[in-house]
Structures are given as C-alpha cells and as structure tokens.
Structure 1
Amino acid sequence: ADPKCEKGGDLDDSQKGDQGKDERVDLKDDDDDDDYDDKDEGGDLDDDDDDDDDDDLQGDTYYDDDDDDDDDDDDDDDDDDWDNKKASVQFRTGIDSFVRGDVQLGKLVPTKDVNLGSEVIEAVVIKAQDVPLSSVSCQLFEDDGGKKKLGNPFSMMDISLGKDAVPVKAIKCSIQK
C-alpha cells in the first residue's frame, strides 16, 4: 500500500504539479485565447471600447470648448482682421520725455496722427491688443509714404536711434509669424 501510495502520491504530486502548471498555462492561454478570440471575432467590440476610452481621454468636449469661438483651429491671432488690433508704442523723445500712442496693426500710420510726435531717440512696443506682445514688430519711416526705413524693426526690445532725436514721419506695426 505504501509503494502504491508513494508511487501514487509521487505521481499525484507530479501530476498535480504538471497539471497545475498545465492548468495555469491553460488558464492563461484560455484567458489570452479568449481575449484574442474576442479581438479576432468581436474585435469591433474590443476596439470600440478602446476607442471610447481614448475619446474620453482626449476629451472631445474639451476640444469642442476651445473651438467654439470661430472654428478655425484657434488661429485667431493670425486672422487678417486688423481693424480691432493695435499695438501701443512708446518713443523716448528727450532725456526724460516720453510719448505713447496706439498704432493700428497692418497699416502705415503717420506718427502725428497717433500722438507720437515727429522725433524719436528710442522706440519700443509696450503693449498689444488681441495679439501676443512678442509677435508684434514695428518699423519707423523717415517719410509719410513708408519708402525710407529708419533703423531696424523693433518690438518688445527697444531700438535706439542714437543720442539725438531723429525725424520720424510714419510707423507700421504688424504681426510676425
């Protein structure tokens, strides 16, 4: 009886171990096969579940809220509607005298029309309306027609035209992309 038990016990233990391993593997395989079978047979269900989860993570509602303004991929600042967009420019006209004026973006504007005067030592863009300040660039001109550029374009970083004021007749500010 003992040899049978030992033999049977040994066989049972080894069979249990093998069966346990096989069962574990079979269970894993069964689970994996079921999952793969679900994907193969009912892949649409599984894929739809993944897509639904991805949609939830992407937040369609969140993106829709951002685009509610005019549905142009939120490039509102790059629109060509310059009428309501202005930049505030400051000129230093003397050692301790400054003037400020608002310049409509995209148009050549005589400096006298925006209270900037006719002479400048330094110029800087100090504020922008409806556009990022860092994207505004302005150019000064010696003439009213905007043919003779005066110095380099300037933006938030000011431009110095020397220690003496120089004549300026026009300014044009625009958005750099």
Structure 2
Amino acid sequence: MNLEVCSNGVHSLRFGKITTAEVRCLMCTSAVVQFEDGSSEGNASSVEEKVLQWLRAYFSGDHQQAMTAELPPICVLKRRDGFALKVLQRLLTIKFGQTASYSEMASKCGHKNSARAVGRVVSENPAVLMIPCHRVILKSGKEGHFSGGKLDALKKALLSYEKTTVFSENNSKLVDNANM
C-alpha cells in the first residue's frame, strides 16, 4: 500500500506503486511514504499517524470501531469541485458493510443518467478504502471492477470482509441476547 500526504492531508492511498506523475500536487509539497507490514519508513507525520490509526481501526475486525474511527483529512477533496466532488462526498456516506450501485450514486448526486460518469470518478479515486469506492457495485448486484479490473479479487475480498465483520458482530449479539 502506498500513501502520499502533505500537511493538508492525504493525497493518495493506493494499492500498488505510485508513479512519479501521481505523486505531484500543484498546490502542496507532498511526501510519499510506503507501508509494509503496517509500518512506515522514516518519521511519520501527524497525518500519516492518523492514516495508520484509521487503517488499524478498519482492519480491526470491529465494524463499530472502523465506522467511528476519525477519518484523516483528505487533501484531494479540497482540490475537487462539481460532479466529481459530489461523487466522492457521496462515497463517504456508504457505511461499512453496505453497498450502492453506480446508478444509485448518480441519482443521489442529482444526475440520474450518469452512472458511467460515476464509474469514471470512482475509478480515479485517489484514496481507496478511506473514500470507499469498493462499495460501489453494479445494479445487478455483482461487484464489478476495481482499479481498472486489476484488483477485482481485492474488491470482492474487501466487500466480503466488511459484510462478514458486520454479520459476525450482529450474530454474536443475537447469541448473547439468547443466553440472557
């Protein structure tokens, strides 16, 4: 996983390698930090620490902790406007363990016939996981592609992880209540 931050927040959180073209922001001086096995190289800034805390909460297996963890500031949201910003902001409203279709997203952004445009914005999401583009699926209920089709198995695994985590917690609450 690769992370790019500046003092204003996250520029990029991606699976795979970040290219030189991707790591340059016209508005900020950014530093690229690569994460391996949950640790960063060099000294972590406060933004990087917030990202690490958020990732730990996300992968903790406790969906309540993941949902209530403070999202680090995302600089790229400050640099977007119009339809793309609406889509990215709408992505932030899809809760852990839930999904929405591209057409639902288009409607909620005020452009009901723009499912393909939603797909374009989602495919260019610079902060995967944090801006949960993996939760957008096809109207048919199938997962669809992730990262231009290169990480489809990862999308399926993330959706499964989120649903299993929520289901396990709800199931354990039912068992606890039944034993009372």
Q: As a proportion of its length, which structure holds more strand?
A: 1
User: Could you state the TM-score of these two structures normalised by the residue count of structure 2?
Assistant: 0.21
User: Could you state the TM-score of these two structures normalised by the residue count of structure 1?
Assistant: 0.22
Structure number with larger C-alpha Rg: 1
